[in-house]
Structure 1
Amino acid sequence: MYDDDFLARLTARLREALPRWGVGPDAGLRLLTISENATFLADDDGRRIVFRVHRPDYHTLEEIRSELAWIEALRADGVAATPEPLRMRDGELLGAFEDEGSLRHVVAFEHMSGGEPEPGADMPHWYRTLGTITAGLHGHVRGWRTPARFRRKLWDFDAMLGDRPLWGDWRDGLGLEPEGRALIERASAVLRREVEAYGAAPERFGLIHADLRPANLLVDGDRLGVIDFDDCGFSWFMYDFAAAVSFMEHEPFIPELQDAWLEGYAAIAPVSREERAIMPTFLLLRRILLTAWVASHAETPTAQSMGVPFTHGTLELAERHLVQRG
Structure 2
Amino acid sequence: MNISILEIGAKRFGTNASSLRLLGGFDQNVYECQLHKNLIIKFLSSEHHSYTTIKAELNWMNYLSSNGLFITTPIVSQIGNLIEEVQTDQDNYFVIAFEKAKGTIRQDIEHDFSLIHNWGKVMGKMHYLAKNYLQDQPNHYKHWNEEKIIIEYQENAGQTILKKWNWFLEELNKLPKDEQSYGLIHHDLHHQNFHVYKEEIIVFDFGDIEYHWFVYDIAISMYHAIQTIPSSDKRKKQEFAIRFYETFLEGYLEENSLNKDWFSYIPFFLRYRQIYSYIYLLNYLKVDNAQPSILSALRNMKSNIENDIPVIEF
**TM-score bracket, shorter-length normalisation:** 0.7 to 0.9
TM-fit CA distance, 1:320: 3.5
Deviation string for 1:61-111 (max 9, x for gaps)? Answer: 100000001111111121x11111011122210012224422111100011
Task: With the length of structure 2 as denominator, give the TM-score of the two structures.
Answer: 0.83
Deviation string for 1:1-21 (max 9, x for gaps)? Answer: xxxxxx3x34x5323332322
Find the partner of 1:243 among 190, 200, 220.
Answer: 220
| Cα gap change, 1:64 to 1:82, in 2 (>3 Å) | same
Find the partner of 1:21 among 10, 13, 16.
Answer: 13
Confirm or deny: 8 A CA contact 1:287 1:314 kept in the other structure: no
TM-fit CA distance, 1:202: 2.1
TM-fit CA distance, 1:319: 1.1
TM-fit CA distance, 1:195: 3.0
Find the partner of 1:64 among 47, 51, 54.
Answer: 54
Confirm or deny: 8 A CA contact 1:62 1:149 kept in the other structure: no
TM-fit CA distance, 1:249: 5.1
| Cα gap change, 1:311 to 1:153, in 2 (>3 Å) | farther
Confirm or deny: 8 A CA contact 2:181 2:214 kept in the other structure: yes
Q: Which runs of no fewer than 5 residues in structure 1 stay unpaired?
A: 1-6
Query: Which residue pairs with 2:156 in the alignment?
Result: 172
Q: Measure, in 2, the Cα distance between the counterparts of 1:303 and 1:269.
A: 40
| Cα gap change, 1:97 to 1:186, in 2 (>3 Å) | closer
List aligned pairs for 1:256-295, cutoff 5 A: 256-295=243-282
Q: Does 1:223 align with 2:200?
A: yes
Query: Which residue pairs with 1:4 in the alignment?
Result: none
Confirm or deny: 8 A CA contact 1:128 1:260 kept in the other structure: yes
Percent of residue pairs identical: 19
Q: Which runs of no fewer than 5 residues in structure 2 stay unpaired?
A: 230-236
Confirm or deny: 8 A CA contact 1:249 1:287 kept in the other structure: no
Confirm or deny: 8 A CA contact 2:14 2:78 kept in the other structure: yes
Task: With the length of structure 1 as denominator, give the TM-score of the two structures.
Answer: 0.81
In the comparison of the two structures, how many residue pairs are matched? 302
TM-fit CA distance, 1:159: 3.8
Query: Which residue pairs with 2:301 in the alignment?
Result: 313
Query: Which residue pairs with 1:3 in the alignment?
Result: none
List aligned pairs for 1:1-326, cutoff 5 A: 7=1, 9-10=2-3, 12-23=4-15, 25=16, 28-36=19-27, 38-44=29-35, 46-78=36-68, 80-145=69-134, 149-156=138-145, 159=147, 162=150, 164-165=151-152, 169=154, 171-173=155-157, 181-182=159-160, 184-185=161-162, 187-188=164-165, 190-192=167-169, 194-245=171-222, 251=229, 252=237, 253-299=240-286, 304=291, 305-316=293-304, 319-320=308-309
Q: Measure, in 1, the Cα distance between the counterparts of 2:46 and 2:268.
A: 32
Q: Measure, in 2, the Cα distance between the counterparts of 1:302 and 1:65.
A: 32
- After TM superposition, what 4+ stretches of structure 1 lie above 6 angstroms from structure 2? 300-303
Q: Measure, in 1, the Cα distance between the counterparts of 2:148 and 2:87.
A: 31
Aligned-partner SS, 1:41:
strand
Deviation string for 1:93-141 (max 9, x for gaps)? Answer: 0012224422111100011122222134444332221111111001111
